[in-house]
Amino acid sequence: MISIKELRKEFTVEDKKIVAVDDVTLDIKRGEIFGVIGYSGAGKSTFIRLLNGLEQPTSGEVFINGKRFSHMKGESLRQARQKVSMIFQHFNLLWSRTVEENIAFPLEIAGVSKEERYDRVQNLIELVGLQGREKAYPSQLSGGQKQRVGIARALANEPDVLLGDEATSALDPETTDAILDLLVDINERLGITIVLITHEMHVIQKICHRVAVMEAGRIVEMGKVLDVFQNPQQSVTKRFVSQLTGVKDTLPTLEMLFDNYPSGSLIQLTFVGKKTEEPILTELIRNFQVSASVVHGHINETKDGPYGTLIVHIDGAESQIHEALQFLQSIDVKAEVLSNE
């Protein structure tokens, strides 16, 4: 669906060359919700602008639905861009137009007849849940309603791809979840491919099938969301995962834990799927001469199933603790002994 080959974008600022996107190669499947996450300055916004032709690459190629978007210009780019729509962090609505008129705007530009515009706009208003607000102006809408208008407008030309540039970061948590639920519904109903860039791991966790982690313009890690959660490889990925698990790998936190539990071992357990529902600690206590207590725990739902992290204090003879750890590994529970060094 989307094929990106050795994509690179350079800017020159005050005679200095800045590489915003650096040799990115990846494929995004049709109908997939694909997330790109990174901190500020990682190159996410430039990357997504390269996907819809708002920026042209220094080198490399972007293909969407078999069309070469990279280096496309003029009328051919304008026509192709109708099938690749975008929703924005700050909505970008026309403040002098009503909800209906904002949604109809891209259809006017495309030369769609008035009758067809009306029918399509009404269907989109129902799809995004804005019935009764058709005649309202943006100033009369909440943040979530404004973003619903933005989503409906992006869908007006029946695109194949929907791009989201930090589409929920201006919203409160409850509204964010409602918008994410709407995007999942749109993805399932219309089969549309969605690419989201964000700095919020919650967005990735809740709706994405796969995720790419960006740092300094490069994709440093990529895979199914659950796989990345379970076994993050890069330090930047571990920082993002810790946002959701609540496990903070910082020295003051570890010092406090070890002050409270001077003997035994502190173990961080990571488990997925049905393992999150099994009485693992009960089995440890029953089968080994150890005591086990939960110090900290968190379970998150992803598109592919639940993902859980526990910090557990295990006390007992060293040999018994070692056997308990081997048992955990044998049942596919990742166990990491925390260190205070």
**pLDDT tens, residue by residue, 150-165:** 999 999 999 999 999 9
For residue 32, the tally of other CB atoms under 10 A from its CB is: 18
Question: Out of 3.40.50.300, 3.40.50.2300, 3.30.200.20, 1.10.760.10, which CATH number does the structure's domain 2-243 have?
Answer: 3.40.50.300
Mean pLDDT of 220-231: 88
Query: Cα separation of 219 and 16, whole Å?
Result: 23
Summarised one tens digit per residue, pLDDT across range 232-241 is: 889 999 888 8
What's the one-letter identity of residue 61? E
Query: Cα separation of 341 and 336, whole Å?
Result: 14
Picking from 75, 52, 141, 74, the residue whose alpha carbon sits closest to that of residue 102 is 141
Place of tokens 């596919």: 332
More confident residue, 339 or 130: 130
Place of tokens 């209906």: 100
More confident residue, 228 or 96: 96
Per-residue pLDDT for 93 more than 90?
A: yes
**Minimum mean pLDDT among 38-47, 181-190, 253-262, 282-291: which range?**
253-262
Summarised one tens digit per residue, pLDDT across range 173-222 is: 999 999 999 999 999 999 999 999 999 888 998 999 999 999 999 999 99
Per-residue pLDDT for 49 more than 80?
A: yes
Query: Is residue 3 within 8 Å of 27, Cβ to Cβ?
Result: yes
Query: Cα separation of 231 and 109, whole Å?
Result: 47
CATH 3.40.50.300 residue window(s) in the chain:
2-243
When pLDDT is cut at 50, 70 and 90, the band that residue 277 belongs to is: low
Token couple for 28: 């995004």
Query: Is residue 168 within 8 Å of 180, Cβ to Cβ?
Result: yes
Assigned CATH for 249-337: 3.30.70.260
pLDDT of residue 276: 60
CATH 3.30.70.260 residue window(s) in the chain:
249-337
For residue 239, the surrounding DSSP H or E stretch is helix 235-245
- Global pTM reads 0.80
**Minimum mean pLDDT among 43-52, 59-68, 184-193, 322-331: which range?**
322-331
pLDDT of residue 120: 96
